[in-house]
A and B are shown apart, each in its own frame.
Chain A
C-alpha cells in the first residue's frame, strides 16, 4: 500500500510539474538555508577555534592588575605558590612586558619586549628560523641577549642573518643586545602576536626595565589530561580568594575558544531558527498544493471510496503524497545547502564541516511539515461524501 501511495504521489506530481516545482521551492529554500547556516556556522566556529588554538589551548595567562603589582603579592615566588596550590599545572612562568624601540643601523621598529625565563621557549613550543632561545645562564648572569619575532627580524635585518648581530633597545637609555634566535612566523591570536615581540632574559628585563618587584604576567601551562577550562576556573577561584576579582585578569585561549563557539553557536542557531520560519512558509505552500490536489481529484476520491477505500486509506494516500513532496524538497534542499556551504567555506578559506545534525534536523523538520500541513487536506479528502465525490465533475 505504501509503495502504491508513493507511486500515486509521483504520478500526481508528474501531472502538474510546474505547480509541484513551485511548491517544492519553498521547502527546498527552507531546508537549504537551515543546512547552509548551520554548516557555515560550524565551519566558521571550527576555523576560529583553530586560530585560537595557535596560542596553545593548554595555556593560561594571569595578569595582575597594576595596583596589585606593587603590593608584593605577585612576586616571582608566587609562580611556585600557584604551581603548588593549583592542581593540574606543569609549569608557571613569570613574565614582564612593555614596549620599546629597537634599532639596528638605520632601521628602528617599535616592538613588545618580554622578559621571560629560558624555559619559556620550550614551554610555548616556539620554533626558530635560526638560532634558539637563550639559556638559563643568560638569565642568571643578566646577559643582554635577545630573541626576535619574525617581523622584527625581517624589518631590522632584511638582507642578512640576524643571529650574532647586535640591536639597540631603547628604554630610558639605549642598550645593546646580542641576537641569539629568530622565531618562526606564527599566526596572531588576539593580543598575542609573537611576530612583533622580542624576548630577553627575565633578570635582564628586571634590571633594565622595571624597578618594581612585581610580575607583569604569569604564564601557566596545564598538565596533559586536565581540562584547561576547569583548571582556569580553579585559578580564578584561588586568586579571587587572595586579591579579589579586581586584582587580576585571566586569559586562556581555551576559554576564549569556548566563548567563541558559544557565540557562533548561538548566532547560527538564531539564524537557523529564522530559516526554519521559511520552512514553515514552505509548509503552507505544501498545504496549498495539497488542497488543490484534493479538490481536483474529488472524483477520484469518490471512485476509490466506492471501491472500498476507508477514510483512513484515503487520508493515508494524501499524507503520503504530502510527505513524498516534502522529503523530495528536503533532499534537494540538503543538496543545495551543502553546495552553498561548500561555496562559502571555499571562498572564506575555512575547512568544510558539514553539519550532520542540521541535515537530520532539516529532513526531520520537513517531514514534520509534510505531515502537519498535509493533515488538513488529507482529512478533508477522507471526509468527502462518497456520492457527492462520485458525482463531482
Chain B
C-alpha cells in the first residue's frame, strides 16, 4: 500500500461574512501520496487557497479530518500546528514573502532557527539549499537586490531547507515573466524528481497540466470527472 502523506476526510471550511455563510470548502475528501506532483486548479473563489492553507496547517477546518504525514491535525493548538508547519511543510508564495531586512541566507536560515538547530549546522544547511536552487553567489544579498526569479528561488530554498514532507506552492510563477516562470517550474519538476511531494496551486491550466496529477475545484467541491 502506498503511503498517503496527505489525507483529507470530508473537509468543510465555512466563513461567516456579514449575513452570509461562505462555504469555501464543502465536503472534500482527498489523498495525496508520497512523491506525487499534484496541481490544485480552479477559478478564483473555488477554494484553492483555503485548501492550501488547510494542508499547510495555517488554518483549521470547520469540520472534517486532516492527516499530514500520518498525523491527525485535529485539535492541535497553535504551537503544535507551528511545529508541523516547521517540520512537514515548505511554503512558496506568489509574492515570495521574503523577510525584507534579512539577507538571502538569513531568510533560508529562519525555519531552521525555529527548529532549534545550532548556528553552524543551520548556516551550512541554508547555504546548501541556496546552492541547490542555483543562488550560491547571492547568499548575502537582500531581497531588494534580487530579481523576481531569484527571490522565488530563495523562497524555494527556504521551503526546502528543513527537508519537509510537502512542498506547497501557491501560484509560484504568478508574479514572474513566462521565461522565469518556466525556469521555476523546471526547478519544481527537478525537486519532484528527487522524490519530494509537490503541490502546486494555480489557475493556469498549462502549468497545471505539467503536473502529474490535477485536482479541480469549483465552488468548494471537487469537480465531477476528476474525482479521486
Contact surface of A with B, Cβ cutoff 8 Å: 1, 4, 8, 11, 15, 299-300, 302-313, 386-387, 390
Contact = CB atoms under 8 A, between A and B. Distances in A.
A311 B77 CA distance: 10
Contacts, number: 61
B56 A306 contact: yes
B86 A307 contact: yes
B113 A4 contact: yes
B71 interface: no
Contact of A387 (B58, B82, B83, B97): B58
Nearest to A312: B79
Interface string B107-119: 0001101111000
Given A300-B99, A312-B79, A387-B53, A307 B111 contact: yes
B105 to A, nearest CB: 13
B163 to A, nearest CB: 13
Contacts of B98: 303
Contact of A11 (B56, B86, B101): B101
Contacts of A302: 97
Contact of A310 (B58, B83, B99): B83
A273 to B, nearest CB: 40
Contacts of A308: 82-83, 85-87, 111, 114-115, 162
Tell which of A302, A306, A313 has the most Cβ of chain B within 10 Å.
A306
B121 interface: no
Contacts of A8: 101
9 smallest CB-CB distances across A and B, nearest first, come from A308-B86, A310-B82, A310-B79, A308-B114, A386-B58, A307-B111, A308-B85, A303-B97, A11-B101
Contacts of B116: 1
Contact of A15 (B101, B110, B111): B101
Size category of the binding interface on chain B: 20 to 34
B56 A307 contact: no
Contacts of B145: none
A11 B58 CA distance: 27
14 contacts: A11-B101, A299-B97, A303-B98, A304-B99, A305-B85, A307-B85, A307-B91, A307-B111, A308-B83, A308-B87, A308-B111, A309-B86, A311-B78, A386-B58
Tell which of B56, B58, B59 has the most Cβ of chain A within 10 Å.
B58
A1 B99 contact: no
Nearest to B86: A308
Contacts of B99: 300, 303-304
Contacts of B113: 1, 4
Given A4-B113, A387-B58, A387-B59, A306 B78 contact: no
Interface string B39-68: 000000000000001001011000000000
B158 interface: yes
Given A11-B101, A387-B58, A390-B58, A306 B91 contact: yes
A311 B97 contact: no
A4 B118 CA distance: 12
B59 A304 contact: no
Nearest to A308: B86
A304 B106 CA distance: 12
A310 B58 CA distance: 12
Contacts of B162: 308
B158 A307 contact: yes
A289 B99 CA distance: 20
Contacts of A15: 101
Contact of B58 (A299, A300, A304, A306): A306
Contacts of A310: 78-79, 82-83, 114
Nearest to B49: A387
B114 A307 contact: yes
A15 B101 CA distance: 9
Tell which of A1, A8, A299, A303 has the most Cβ of chain B within 10 Å.
A303
A8 B85 CA distance: 22
Nearest to B155: A303
A311 B83 CA distance: 11
Contacts of A300: 99
A386 B91 CA distance: 13
A306 B97 contact: yes
Nearest to B50: A387
B17 to A, nearest CB: 14
A4 B78 CA distance: 22
A307 B110 contact: yes
Contact of B82 (A1, A299, A305): A305
Tell which of B56, B59, B83, B97 has the most Cβ of chain A within 10 Å.
B97
A4 B113 CA distance: 9
A304 B110 contact: yes
Contacts of B91: 306-307
A296 to B, nearest CB: 12
B58 A313 contact: no
B126 to A, nearest CB: 12
Contacts of A4: 113
Interface string B14-40: 000000000000000000000000000
A95 to B, nearest CB: 78
Interface in B115-146: 115-116
A305 B111 CA distance: 10
A390 B111 contact: no
A369 B86 CA distance: 33
Contacts of B83: 308, 310
Contacts of B82: 305, 308-311, 313
A312 to B, nearest CB: 7
Nearest to B110: A307
Nearest to A311: B78
